Structure 1
Amino acid sequence: MTGAAAALTLGSVTFASPAGAADGDQETQTLRGTLPTGSPDFVYVPVEVPSGVREIRVAYTYDRPSVPAGTAGNALDIGIFDERGTELGGKGFRGWSGGARTEFFLRADDATPGYLAGPVREGTWHIALGPYTVSPQGLSYEITITLTYGEPGAAVRPAYPPSRAKGRGRDWYRGDCHLHSWYSDGRRTPAEIAALARAAGLDFINSSEHNTHAAHAHWAPEAGEDLLIMLGEEVTTRNGHVVALGTDPGTFVDWRYRARDNRFGRFARQIRRAGGLVVPAHPHATCIGCNWKFGFGEADAVEVWNGPYTPDDEVSLADWDSMLVASVRGGGREWIPAMGNSDAHRDPDVIGLPQTVVLADDLTREAIQEGIRAGRSYVAESKNVSLTFTASGGRGQHAGIGERLEAAGDTPVTVRLEVTGAPRCTVRLVTDQGVLFTSAPLPVAGSGVVEWRTTPAYAAYVRAEVRHEAAAGPLPGALAAFTNPIFLGRS
């Protein structure tokens, strides 16, 4: 047991003494086993690595028998820890590919994407298996481990992208903070992602591979004055996923725990100590292990819109709005801002669908994070959609997205939304009572201005939604954009 998620450690795999091994000599061992239904979350295979090893290579296969309808089949993830051990916190972590690869290698000068290059030192390494789902018949696996002897290559010093780009001063900046490359289960290279981000009109992106920081050292060539590249991770637990947004280069965040293990707070604090934001991702996604179960007490923001707009995003939006209603009981001081990201993995996933548009003092990691944390942002489906959302009262009072209009309860307040790039869309203004205003469809040109009048006594906050035409029935159409709220009244 690891003290966190349930784990099982198997018997060791031992290699012969390297005495007399010539440069390039190899040794291979193969082991087989079967995991039953209800296996622990992690199964560790100790590997006794002798001295003089230049490279370790691991390949694996497992069976995929037919299962009854509605029953999960076999899925087995894999990664590796070095001689520093498997203790929760990741000191010995050397890589994770989940189920995206059937083999990987590590050596001093290179490693498979998702894994960390570095010396293969003598000691007990551990192959980490993650039986994500196990069929009723069990999961039979085969692992082949190959050691290559010889002098290690020269270690490569990591180079990281800068934490600032050439901004426009205080302005609205567009970004996508949930993306996957071939360093986890994506299919695009960092260069391809950066090119698509620029084409989507983005000013910043965030690297967020599943359970590995191996991509961090490979983004520097793609950064430029026009594109800020932040570094992070998608921490992919069995009880939900969280984006570590904009952490210090080289930060690894462990994922081997469930909500019942009471470990998440420790790692949320680690993300913040490393300069990052804690952002629960797609909290109502329907995939196994994707639904968020850790609560929102540690969240700096929440990903309400993930990729093309779907019913689970609608549920996330409603859930977030309920949290806003709860927050106004405390004067709106503890509310959690919303954001949207593409979670793009491969073609035809669209980078920048959606994108978070942030009011920041400059195009730097710290300024973008501060804007997200403060809720000075809205979410749009593309670079074509732009919003200006304000509230004004008497005596020249004025507030924008994420701010508070300080006014007495009976003060007349005018809420104004300017929209461009949303043809035939409908504007809805939402308060703590629900939807209190719905506009006529915008013209084909996609631009329009909507005004609505209220008081702080009637609406504790107001936020805007821009919706496409409904497909059928009373359900609202998919979002084209939405804003964080403007709070009304005394704090």
Structure 2
Amino acid sequence: MCDDHHDHGPGRRALLVSGAAAALTSGSVTFASAADGGQETRTVRGTLPPGSPDFVYLPVEVPAGVREIRVAYSYERPAVPAGTQGNALDIGIFDERGTGLGGKGFRGWSGGARREFFLRADTATPGYLPGPVREGTWHIALGPYTVAPQGLSYEITVTLVYGEPAPAVSPVYPPERAKGRGRAWYRGDCHLHSWYSDGRRTPAEIGALARAAGLDFINTSEHNTHAGHAHWADVAGDDLLVMLGEEVTTRNGHVVAVGTDPGTFVDWRYRARDNRYGRFARQIRRAGGLVVPAHPHATCIGCNWKFGFGEADAVEVWNGPYTADDEVSLADWDGMLAASVRDGRGWIPAMGSSDAHRDPDVVGRPQTVVLADDLTREAILDGIRAGRSYVAESSSVVLSFTAAGGRGRHAGIGERLDVAADAPVTVRLEVVGAPRCVVRLVTDQGVLHTAGPLPESGDGVVEWRTTPAYAAYVRAEVRHEAPAGPLPGPPAAFTNPIFLGRGADRTAAGAR
């Protein structure tokens, strides 16, 4: 075993690309020639200063005859003044095909969830793609998420194991159809994390929790990797549709790719100022998926959404346990609805997902309930895209929300009631499973009708009469009792809108 040490300061690095998401390359790690069996190890050390680019690439010269590559890393975490961010360093790897944007050479990413990983032809660490370790220049990708004032000192150890490669394994993906009930309401959670990124649950554990939560479908959404796609086939079944996706975690916000083709990788290495997000949003749709900005007003570093909503197919308004940033997201989304009516343009449906990672995170809290023609990937995505959905805190909460006009005209969630501006309209909400909750009917003018609290049984019916001239749309909120203070209580459920009056029916996707 060989253990070489190289110190690379900022002066030894060369600029690879320009722009806000610029990347630097550090001095390379070289393995001169293939060993006759056995393994070799190299260790490299360096320090990243404050203000480092988003990504730093460490080239690794890999000779022929390598069976397996292993990488381990560590970094210093010095004390920092109050109010100052300390060190946090993410890691991943690209193979000999390069680090170009789009990810042709992408072989895995674990962010800050792991301190070591390996990959070979037949298997790899969760978050990494198995496959041959071919000769050429590989790159370890470092992502300095935050850097302390003292700088970020790191150590990376690379080990190559020589020998004949193991037989490659062909991926098996979950089916795109489950045994549905025809046109019906289906419950799902589209934002989940397993141990294939920074979650702590296996796919099997998540599947069991999804079934216990009364879900009909889920969507995988690991941070910045699609390596888990081939590990969900055994979780799917007649009673559970498993769709595949990714949480694209940029430095200016996160977007969930929902229901993409198996094996689809979406790059995340850009900021809003780089003008690259649209390219990858379009890639998600070409792969059959939906573009869903996640937790747009979350306060964690890099979580706040800064790309705008022009490419969104839906927006995740409610993320996990309901908090103040969800309330801001809900209000912001309602403002976008009012603007879409005013400007005569497409609207963006709302969703809710758990973003569950580990205990005590609850899978299916909240969940999106979708009216779909069947329990298939295509039908579920069509329902979400059209806004035929509501969000509920659990499967115990069931809503029916309709609007009726004269001559038998009626419309449901995500639809338009096509009647004259002065035509009388009756809005009806039926609620099951929301004890002591208050109902609010929200329009482009704000909350125009409040009813409740509902009885201890949690069941009730609320009706309200209006006209399209008075309310261009109406949506329902079912809220728990409010704590002390000016804000309403957290929701048990809320719906997408029903539009009232004559006008174009366009979602954000349909308007493109």
TM-score w.r.t. the length of structure 1 is: 0.99
Q: Deviations over 1:121-162 (max 9, x none)?
A: 000000000000000010000000000000000000000000
Q: 1:2 aligns with which of 12, 17, 21?
A: 17
Equivalent in the alignment of 2:420 = 408
Shift in Å, 1:2: 3.1
Shift in Å, 1:11: 1.4
2:326 and 2:501 mapped to 1: Cα distance? 29
Q: Secondary structure at the match of 1:223?
A: coil
Does residue 464 of structure 1 match 2:476?
A: yes
Q: How does 1:171-210 map to 2 (within 5 A)?
A: 171-210=184-223
Give the fraction of aligned pairs with identical amino acids, expressed as a percent.
85
Equivalent in the alignment of 1:423 = 435
Q: Deviations over 1:268-300 (max 9, x none)?
A: 000000000000000000000000000000000
Unaligned runs of 5+ in 2: 1-15, 504-512
Q: Secondary structure at the match of 2:301?
A: coil
Q: 1:341 aligns with which of 339, 350, 353?
A: 353
Amino acid at match of 1:68: P
Aligned length: 487
Shift in Å, 1:69: 1.0
Amino acid at match of 2:492: A
Shift in Å, 1:3: 5.0
Q: Deviations over 1:195-215 (max 9, x none)?
A: 000000000000000000000
Q: Secondary structure at the match of 1:325?
A: helix
Equivalent in the alignment of 1:13 = 29
Equivalent in the alignment of 2:306 = 293
Q: Secondary structure at the match of 1:216?
A: helix
Equivalent in the alignment of 2:41 = 28
Amino acid at match of 2:376: T
Shift in Å, 1:475: 1.2
Does residue 270 of structure 1 match 2:283?
A: yes
Q: 2:453 aligns with which of 422, 441, 445?
A: 441
Amino acid at match of 2:96: E
Q: Secondary structure at the match of 1:80?
A: strand
Q: How does 1:298-317 map to 2 (within 5 A)?
A: 298-317=311-330
Equivalent in the alignment of 1:231 = 244
Equivalent in the alignment of 1:480 = 492
Amino acid at match of 1:22: D
Q: Deviations over 1:56-77 (max 9, x none)?
A: 0000000001111111100000
Shift in Å, 1:329: 1.9
**Structure 1 runs (4+) greater than 2 angstroms displaced:** 1-4
1:443 and 1:198 mapped to 2: Cα distance? 29
Q: Secondary structure at the match of 1:222?
A: coil
Shift in Å, 1:323: 0.2
Q: Give yes or no for contact 1:110–1:117 (8 Å, CA) kept in 2.
A: yes
TM-score w.r.t. the length of structure 2 is: 0.95
Shift in Å, 1:490: 0.6
Q: Deviations over 1:218-267 (max 9, x none)?
A: 00011000000000000000000000000000000000000000000000
Q: Deviations over 1:90-121 (max 9, x none)?
A: 00000000000000001001100000000000
Shift in Å, 1:188: 0.1
Shift in Å, 1:330: 3.8
Does residue 220 of structure 1 match 2:236?
A: no
Unaligned runs of 5+ in 1: none
Amino acid at match of 1:10: S
Q: Secondary structure at the match of 2:110?
A: strand
Equivalent in the alignment of 1:241 = 254
1:6 and 1:289 mapped to 2: Cα distance? 16
Q: Give yes or no for contact 1:2–1:87 (8 Å, CA) kept in 2.
A: no
1:118 and 1:473 mapped to 2: Cα distance? 57
Equivalent in the alignment of 2:389 = 377
Q: Deviations over 1:3-57 (max 9, x none)?
A: 5611101111111211xx333x110000000000000000000000000000000
Q: Secondary structure at the match of 1:319?
A: helix
Equivalent in the alignment of 2:101 = 88
Does residue 388 of structure 1 match 2:400?
A: yes
1:244 and 1:153 mapped to 2: Cα distance? 32
Shift in Å, 1:484: 0.1
2:213 and 2:55 mapped to 1: Cα distance? 39
Does residue 39 of structure 1 match 2:55?
A: no
Q: Secondary structure at the match of 1:321?
A: helix
Amino acid at match of 1:472: A
Q: Secondary structure at the match of 1:298?
A: coil
Amino acid at match of 1:344: A
Q: Give yes or no for contact 1:108–1:120 (8 Å, CA) kept in 2.
A: yes
Amino acid at match of 2:386: A
